[in-house]
Chains A and B, each alone.
Chain A
Amino acid sequence: MARNLGGFLVLFLAISICEAASIFQPISDSHRSAALELFSPTDGSFGSLEETYEALRTFEILGIKKRPDISAASCQSVSETLGSSTLSLKDVFHALKVNSILKCKVNDETFQGVAKRLKAVLNDASSLLDFYYSIGSLVLIKDQNSGVDVLLHDADGVFRSIKALSQSDGRWRYSSNNPESSTYAAGLALEALAGTVSLASSEIDQSLIVTLKNDIVKLFDSIEKYDDGSFYFDEKLVDAREHQGPLSTTSSVVRGFTAFASVTSGSINVPGDKILGLAKFFLGIGIPGNSKDFFNQIDSLACLESNRVSVPLILSLPATVLSLTKKDQLKVKVNTVLGSSAPPLTVKLVRAFISGTKDSSVIESLELKFDPETAVHFLDVLPKSVDVGNYKFVFEIVLHDSEDKNVYATGGQTQVPVFVTGLIKIDNAEIAVLDSDHGSVETQKQLDLAGENAVSLSANHLQKLRLSFRLATPRGNIFKPHQAFLKLRHETKVEHIFVVGNSGKQFEIILDFLGLVEKFFYLSGRYDIELTVGDAVMENSFLRAVGHVELDLPEAPEKAPRPPPLAVDPSSRYGPKAEITHIFRSPEKRPPQELSLAFLGLTLLPLVGFLIGLLRIGVNLKNFPTSAVPATFALLFHLGIAAVLLLYVLFWLKLDLFITLKTLCFLGTFLMFVGHRILSHLASTSAKLKSA
C-alpha cells in the first residue's frame, strides 16, 4: 500500500520535474510577493546601503508600488556617507545608487566634494574594484546631478589601465599583482569600462572598443550550458575572497555586458540564443531563497530586457497538462523575460511526438490562432491523432516584421513536454476462481472497478484465482498504465504483491495457489484483495479493495519458512522511541502526623522528670568557682560545649563532614584548654579540701 503510494509520488515528482525541465515562465506576481517577503526592512531600514539599493532596485524593476517606506532612514544614511570626509568607495558607490532611486536631496557641494575625491582615487587606482567603484560612482553622480563636472580627461588612460587587467580568454584579474583571472571580475570590468566610455570627455579611440568587443566574444565562448538550453557563466576562480556562485557571476557579466553594449555603438556579435540561454538560466532559477540571488536575478533580467543586442522572448504554456475529457485548449504565451508583451508574431506548432519516440510525429506544422485581448496563442481543439500520453510539442516563433528579428532573440524552436490526460474506461473486469487441472470456472464475479465492490471468494490450494479487466482511452485505444498491481493481504498483515500482466488487449493475472503455497507461508484464511491501477495521464487512477478470498492451504510441514516479521513503517523507526518508565521504590508509609508529634511530646516528658528530680534532690552550684578567673574559664567551658553541640546541629542541617571536622578541631582545642584549666582548678581545690 505505502509502496504503491510511494510509486505514485515518485511518478508525479518525476513528471513535475521534467515538466519544469524546459518550461520557463516569465517573471510573474509570485516574484513580486516573494520580493516583498525577502526584502522586508528591519526597523525602518535595511542593514546596509547595499541591501537598501538591492531592495529598492528590485521593487523598481518589478514595479511594486506599495514598497515599505524607508526613504527617510536611507536618505539620512546616504547623506551621511556622502558627507563623511573619509570615503570608502564601496559605501559611496552604494549610497549613490540608492540616491539614484530615492532622489534624496543632496546639495551640489557634497557631490562636488565626492566627485573630486573620486577622481583623485581614480588617478592612482590600481585594483579593479577601485576602478569599478569610483567610475561607477562618477557615472551615478553624473546622471544624478548634471551640474557636477565628472568628465574624465584621460578616459583613454583609465580605459587602458583597466584593460591592462584583462586576460587573453576574456576574463579579468582583480588587480595587477594577483594572476588569478575571474569571470566575475570580467563583469565588473566591463561595467567599469562602460562607465569610462560614458564619462569620456572626448571620444575613446575605437581600436580599444574593438579589442574589447573581441574580449567579450571570447568571454562568451567560455560560457557554460545546461541540458535544457540555458547558458550561464561559472567562476573558475575558486579561492577568491568570496567565491561567486554561477548566479552572481552570470549576473555581473550580464550587467557589464549590457552596460557596455548600451554605451557603445556598432554591433557586438553575440548570438541571440546565448542571450536567450542566459535569460532562461535566470528564469529557470525560479524564486531564489535569499535576497542577494533574488536581486541578481531580477536585475540581470531587467538588463536583458532592455539590452541593445537582442531582447529574449520567452515562450511559455499556462498549462502543460491537457485533459482530453475536459477538452482543454492548447494555449501558448510569448513574453519578454519580465512578462511584458511581445511584438506581433505567430507561434507555429512545428510538430508533436510522443516523448521517448523521436521520429513518429503525430502532428505536423499547425499554426496557432492569436487571441489579442488575452494575448494568447491557442489551438482550440487537439487533433484526433493526439491520444492520452505525454508528448513533446515543438513550437516556433515567427516574427512578423523583419527588423524585429535582429532586436529579439526567439531562440528558434522551443520544445515543450505536454501531458494529455483523460478518463480511462475500465470494462469487463471480472474475478474468477478456477480449478487448476482443467480451467473450468468454479465461481466467477463481475467487478465494477469504478465503484465499490466486495466480492467474497473461497479457494483451496488446488485452485487458481483469475483477475482480468480491460482499459480503454477516451479515443478508444488500449491503454497500458504504468502500474497494475494485485495485492493479497492476510489477516496477519503478511502481504503479497503481483504485477498484473497484459495480454494484448486485456489485463489478466492468474494466481496458481499450488505454486504459491510456499510463498504464502502456508497461511490459510482470509486474504483481502486490492487492485491498484495507476498512471500519470490516467485521471482516474485508483487503489481499490476488490474483496477477499478465503484460502485454505495445507498444513505447514517442518522447516517451512516462517512468515517474515512485519516491516516497521519508517515513521515508527525514525520516530520517537517508546518512553522508558522507571520504577522507583515506593516510599514507606509514614505514621500519622499526630502520633509522631504526640511521641515527640512524650520524649520531652523524661526531661521534665529529670529537672523535677534535680530540684527534689536539691542540686547546688556551690562547686562553681567563685573567684573571677576560674569562673570565666568555667563559663567558657560550658559555652564551648554548647558551641560544639550547636556545630553538630548545623552539621546535621547543612554542613558537610570536612567543614564540621575543621571547625571541630578549633573548638576542640579551645575546649581542651579551657576544660583543662577549670578541671585542674577544681581538682586542686578539692585536694585542698581533703588535705585540710
Chain B
Amino acid sequence: MAASETSNGTALRYAFGNVLSFFILLLIGVLAFSIRLFSVIKYESVIHEFDPYFNYRVTQYLTKNGIYDFWNWFDDRTWYPLGRVIGGTVYPGLTLTAGTLYWILNSLNIPLSVETVCVFTAPIFSAFASWATYLLTKEVKGAGAGLTAAVLLAMVPSYISRSVAGSYDNEAVAIFALIFTFFLYIKTLNTGSLFYATLNAIAYFYMVCSWGGYTFIINLIPMHVLLCIVTGRYSSRLYIAYAPLVVLGTLLASLVPVVGFNAVLTSEHFGSFLVFIIIHVVALVYYIKGILSPKMFKVAVTLVLSIGLVVCCAVIAVLVALVASSPTKGWSGRSLSLLDPTYASKYIPIIASVSEHQPPTWPSYFMDINVLAFLVPAGIIACFSPLSDASSFVVLYIVTSVYFSGVMVRLMLVLAPAACIMSGIALSASFDVFTRSIKFQLPGVKGNSQVDAGDTSSEGVVAQNEVAKTDKNEEALKERPSKKNRKKEKEHVEKPFVKAQIKKRLLVLPFEASIIAILLLILLGAFYVVHSVWAAAEAYSAPSIVLTSYSHDGLHVFDDFREAYSWLSHNTEVDDKVASWWDYGYQTTAMANRTVIVDNNTWNNTHIATVGTAMSSPEKAAWEIFDSLDVKYVLVVFGGLVGYPSDDINKFLWMVRIGGGVFPHIKEPDYLRDGQYRIDSQATPTMLNCLMYKLSYYRFVETDGKAFDRVRRTEIGKKHFKLTHFEEVFTTHHWMVRIYKLKPQKNRIRGKAKKSRSKASSTTSTKRSETQRKNPWH
C-alpha cells in the first residue's frame, strides 16, 4: 500500500518536476540572453572587435546576393592585389545561421537590420548552448545536475567573453554546436538508435560549418570509443554511436569548402579512421564470441587475433605512409601548436603574434571559470560513482580540454562547458547528499515531507522568479532533493521500499554539518554569480571599437576608430588601397569599404611580411614598397596621446619579426637597444628612422612641448622631423588613428615640358588673337 501511495505520489511529483524544470530552463535561457546585453546597454548596439566585422560584412553580402553568390564569392577588396576567395576559405556556419535568422525575421515582417541580427546572434545561441548543456548533463547524471550545469554555463565568464551581444564570432555558435553534438553522441550511446546517430552526424556537420575547433570533436569521440574498448565496455550501442558518425560525419565535413578533402587527407582525422577500423575488428570479435562456444572461441581468438593484428599493422603502416607523405606531416600549424605548445612561437610568428594564441596564466583561469575550477575535481569524483559510458566521456572531455586550454587562451572556451558540467554534477551531488541527510533527520513522515520539499521548492521557484534571476542556480539546487530521490526510487522501484530507506540511512551526515555545508555551497554559488555578473558587466563587454576611460574628470569616450573609417569612406576614392597592419584589415574593409593589403585572415604570410617590412624600413624604401602595391593611404594606430596600450608601436616588434622572417634584411636586433625595446632617446637609429616610428610620432611634439608618450611612459627619441614621402591627411580627435597619403612621385621632365608648352601655347594664342580669323573651311 505504501508502494502504491508512493507510486501515485511519484507521478504527481513527476508532473511538478517537468513543469518546474521547463520553467527553470526558460528562465535560464532568459538569464543567458540578458546577462550578455551589458555591452548594448553600456555602449550601443555595435559590432565588436575585428573578426566580427568581417563576419558582418560576409553576412551582409549573403543577405544581399543570396547563397550561391556567397558560395563562390571572390573578394577583391582585400589582400590586394591577390584577392581572396571568401566562399572557400570561411567557415560558413555563423554566416548562414545569421542569414537564416534574418531571413526568417523578415519573412515574419519583423524588419531588423542585418547588423542587429548579427549583434544578437551570440546571446541567442548562448541560451541554446545552456539548454544543450542541460540535455547533455541530464544524459550523464540526471536532470538536476543538468539544470545546475545549465545555470552555470549561462553565466560562465569565459563563454560570456566570446558571446556578449555584438561579438559576432564563430565561437558564439560553435560552442552550442559542440555541446549539442556531444549531447547527441551521448544520447546515441545511451539509446543506441540510428535516428540519434543521424542527428549526431548532422550536428557534427553544423559544428564543422561553424568552427575550426571541430577537430576537437573528431578526436575526442574516437578517444572515448577507444577508452571504452580498452576498459572492456564495448557494447553494440557504442558501435551504433560511432561507426555511422564517422562515415556520415566525414562525408558531411568534406562538403564544407574550407575543410574539403582535408577531412580525409590531414592527420587530424586519421585517428578517427583508425578507431573506426579497430571498432570493426572488436565488433567482429564480440560477434564471433557471441555465436561460438567458449571452447571453440579460445581457438578462434588465436586466429582472429593474429589476423586482426596483421590487418591492424597493415592499416597503421598505410596511415603512417599517408601522414609522412602529406605536407607538414599532415598537421596544420594551429593544431601542431596545440600538441606542442612551443611550436608556434618557434615556427609561425603569425600564429604566435595573436594574443589569444598564447598560453594562459593562472589568473586568467580564475578570471574565466572562477569557482568552477575548484568544483571540477569534485565533479570528476562524482562521475566515477557509478562510472557509465556517458560519465567516462565527460571525464575524458574535461581532461583533454584542460590540457588544450593550457596551450591556448582561446581554448579556455572549450574548457568552460566541461567545467560547468562537472561542477554542475558536483554541486547537485553534494546538495543531494546534504538535503537527504537533513530530510531524514527531520521529524515527520517521509512521504508528505517529500511533498513539502516538492512544493516548498516550487513556491521557492515562484518567489525567486520575482526576486532575481541571478539566484537561479541556488534555487535550482533547493528543489533538487525531491527529484533526486524520486529518481532513486524509480531506479529500484521493484525493491521493497523499506530496504531503500535503510540503504539511504546509511549515508547520512550530521544535521548541522549539512546545514552549514549547504549554506557554504549557496555562498559559493552566490560568489560565482556576483563574479560572473561583474565580468559580464565590466571586463568583457567593451567593444574594442569604442573605448571609454574613467578619469578624475569623469568618463571619456574615444570613438576615434569609427571617426577614421568614416573619414576614409567619405574622402577617398572608392578603389583606393589602404595599407595598415593586418589587425585593422577587416574593419577597414567593413566600415570604410576600402581595399586593404592584408587583413585578419592571415592566409598569406609573405604578403603580411611585405607590409611588416614596409612599416619597419626607412621612409623611402617603405614608399617604394607601398607604391609597388599601389597603396594610396597608410593607416597607423597610435595610443601615445591617450595611453591606448594596444597600438602599432607595441605591435611593432611583431611586424619586425614577421617581416624579418621573409625578408632577411630586416633584423630584429637592429630595433632593440641591448635586448630591450625602447623608443626614447636611447633607441637605435634604425628604430628612430623606421616608417612606423615616423608615422606614429610625426608632429607629436606639437601636442605637449616635450612629446611624452603615455603608453611607453617616456619622452620619444626623435621629436622634430619632416616626412619626405608621406603627407599627413587625417588624424583623429585623440590621435588614435593617423592616416597618411603617399606623396606622388615627382617627375621633372614632365614639369619642364609642361612649362615650355604652356609658354608656347600662350604665345600662339596671343598671335592668333591679333591675326584675323582663319578660314575654317581650309
Residues of A within 8 A of B (CB): 17, 20-21, 224-228, 230, 281, 284-286, 656
Instruction: Give the distance in Å from the alpha carbon of A656 to the alpha carbon of B71 in the complex.
Output: 13
For chain B residues 760-777, which have a beta carbon within 8 Å of chain A? 771-775, 777
- B774: A residues at CB distance < 8 A: 226-227
* B778 and A20 contacting across the interface, CB-CB below 8 Å: yes
Closest chain-A Cβ to B104's Cβ sits at a distance in Å of 15
In the assembled complex, which residues on chain A have CB atoms less than 8 Å from the CB atom of B772?
Answer: 225-227
Chain A positions within 8 Å of B773 at CB level: 224-227
Contact with A along B607-633 (1 / 0, CB 8 A): 000000000000000000000000000
**B7-39: which have CB < 8 Å to A?**
none
CB <8 Å contact, B778 and A227:
no
Tell me if B771 and A284 are in contact (CB < 8 A): no
* B residues near A224, Cβ cutoff 8 Å: 773
Main DSSP-derived SS at the A contact region: loop
- Which residues of chain B from 730 to 778 have any CB-CB distance to chain A below 8 Å in the complex? 771-775, 777-778
Nearest chain-A residue to B71 (Cβ)? Answer: A657
Does B777 lie within 8 Å of A227, measured CB to CB?
no
B388 to chain A, nearest CB (A): 30
Please state if B775 and A17 are interface contacts (CB–CB under 8 Å).
Answer: no
Report the separation of the CA atoms of residues A286 and B778 in the bound assembly, to the nearest whole angstrom: 8
Complex interface: chain B residues within 8 A of A17 (CB): 778
Determine the distance from Cα of A112 to Cα of B747 in the docked complex, in whole angstroms: 81
B773's nearest neighbour on chain A, judged by CB, is: A226
The secondary structure that dominates the B interface is: loop
- In the assembled complex, the CB of B67 is this many whole angstroms from the nearest CB of chain A, namely 8
What would 6 A/B residue contacts be, using CB atoms closer than 8 Å?
A20-B778, A21-B775, A225-B773, A227-B773, A227-B774, A285-B777
Closest to A286 in B: B777
Q: Could you say which residues of chain B place their CB within 8 Å of the CB of A656?
A: 68
CB distance from A134 to the nearest CB of B (A): 35
Give the top 4 A-B pairs by smallest Cβ distance, nearest first.
A226-B775, A227-B772, A285-B777, A284-B777
What residues of B have a CB within 8 angstroms of the CB of A227 in the complex? 771-775
Q: In whole angstroms, what is the CA distance A434 to B525 when docked?
A: 110
A358–B97 Cα distance when bound, in Å, is 92
Q: What residue in chain B is nearest A23 (Cβ atoms)?
A: B778
User: In the complex, which residue of chain A has the Cβ closest to the Cβ of B68?
Assistant: A656
A285–B778 CA distance with the chains assembled, in angstroms: 7
Cα(A286)–Cα(B68), bound, Å = 64
Cα A667 to Cα B520 in complex, Å, equals 58
Known: A20-B778, A284-B778. 5 other contacts (CB 8 A): A17-B778, A227-B773, A228-B775, A228-B778, A286-B777
Chain A residues near B775 (CB, 8 Å)? 21, 226-228, 230, 284
CB distance from B85 to the nearest CB of A (A): 15
Give, as a whole number of angstroms, the nearest-CB distance from A585 to chain B.
15
Which residue of the partner chain B has the closest CB to A20?
A: B778
Q: How far apart are B773's CB and chain A's nearest CB, in angstroms?
A: 6
Distance between A499 CB and nearest chain B CB, rounded to angstroms: 19
A16 to B773, CA, bound (A): 19
Which residues from chain B contact A226 at a C-beta distance below 8 Å?
A: 772-775
Measured CB to CB, the closest approach of chain B to A475, in angstroms, equals 32
Complex-state Cα separation, A245 to B142, whole angstroms: 99
Tell me the complex Cα distance, A286–B776, Å. 12
- Expressed in whole angstroms, the Cα–Cα distance for A21 and B778 within the complex equals 7
In whole angstroms, what is the CA distance A608 to B778 when docked? 94
**Can you name the residue of chain B whose Cβ is closest to the Cβ of A17?**
B778
Least CB separation from B771: chain A residue: A227
Chain A residue numbers with a CB within 8 Å of B777 are: 281, 284-286
- How far, in angstroms, from A227 to B775 measured CA to CA in the complex? 7
Closest-by-CB residue of B relative to A288 is B777
Q: How far is the CB of B635 from chain A (nearest CB, A)?
A: 33
- List the A side residues contacting B771 at CB < 8 Å: 227
CA distance A20 to B777 in the complex (A): 10
- Give the Cβ gap from B518 to chain A, nearest Cβ, in Å: 49
Q: In whole Å, how far is A298's beta carbon from the nearest beta carbon of chain B?
A: 15
Report chain B residues within 8 Å CB of A230: 775
Q: What's the Cα separation between A651 and B439 when bound, in Å?
A: 63
Q: In chain B, residues 68-96, which have Cβ atoms closer than 8 Å to a Cβ of chain A?
A: 68
Q: State A656–B67 Cα separation when bound (angstroms).
A: 12
What residues on A are CB-neighbors of B68 within 8 Å?
A: 656
A128 to B778, CA, bound (A): 34
Q: How far is the CB of B44 from chain A (nearest CB, A)?
A: 36
Min C-beta distance of A24 to chain B, whole Å: 10
B251 to chain A, nearest CB (A): 14
CA distance A286 to B775 in the complex (A): 12
A224 to B, closest residue via Cβ:
B773
| CA gap between A284 and B777 in the complex, in Å | 7
CB distance from B116 to the nearest CB of A (A): 26
B624 to chain A, nearest CB (A): 19
The answer for the CA separation of A286 and B771 in the assembled complex, in Å, is: 24
Q: Chain B residues near A285: list those with CB within 8 A.
A: 777
Chain B residue nearest in CB terms to A283? B777
What's the minimum C-beta distance from A175 to chain B, rounded to whole angstroms? 32
Q: Distance (Å) between the CB of A605 and the closest chain B CB?
A: 23
Report the bound CA distance from A230 to B774 in whole Å.
10
Nearest chain A CB to B772 CB, angstrom units: 4
CA–CA, A228 and B774, complex, Å: 8
Query: Complex Cα distance A17/B775, Å?
Result: 11
Q: Which residues of B contact A286 (CB under 8 A)?
A: 777-778
Interface centre among B772, B774, B778 (most CB of A within 10 A): B778
CA distance in complex: A281, B773 (Å): 13
A285 to chain B, nearest CB (A): 5
How far is A284 from B776 in the complex, measured between Cα atoms in Å?
10
**How far does the alpha carbon of A227 sit from the alpha carbon of B770 in the complex, in Å?**
12
Whole-angstrom CA separation of A302 from B599 in the bound complex? 79
Query: When chains A and B are docked, how far (Å) is the Cα of A56 from the Cα of B777?
Result: 26
Shortest C-beta distance, A566 to chain B (Å), equals 16
Residues of B within 8 A of A20 (CB): 778
**For chain B residues 48-74, which have a beta carbon within 8 Å of chain A?**
68
Query: Smallest CB–CB gap between B760 and chain A, Å?
Result: 15
CB distance from B395 to the nearest CB of A (A): 38
A20 to B774, CA, bound (A): 12
Interface residue ranges of B356-397 to A (CB < 8 Å): none
Chain B residue contacts of A21, Cβ below 8 A: 775, 778
Complex formed: what's the CA distance from A285 to B777 in Å?
Answer: 5
Cα separation A81 to B68 with both chains bound (whole Å):
64
C-alpha gap A230/B68 in the complex (Å):
71
Please give, as numbers and ranges, the residues of chain B lying within 8 Å of A284 by CB-CB distance: 775, 777-778
Chain A proximity of B367: nearest CB distance (Å): 44
Complex Cα spacing A20 to B775, Å: 11
A21–B773 Cα distance when bound, in Å, is 13
List A contacts of B778 (CB < 8 A). Answer: 17, 20-21, 228, 284, 286
With both chains docked as a complex, state the minimum distance between the C-beta of B198 and any C-beta of chain A, in angstroms.
13
Which parts of B406-460 form the interface with A (CB within 8 Å)?
none
B505 to chain A, nearest CB (A): 43
Complex-state Cα separation, A570 to B200, whole angstroms: 69
Tell me the bound Cα distance from A224 to B777 in angstroms. 14
Q: Shortest CB–CB separation between residue A574 and chain B, in angstroms?
A: 19
Whole-angstrom distance between the alpha carbons of A191 and B280 in the complex?
112
Task: Identify which of A226, A281, A285 gathers the most chain B CB atoms within 10 Å of its CB.
Answer: A226
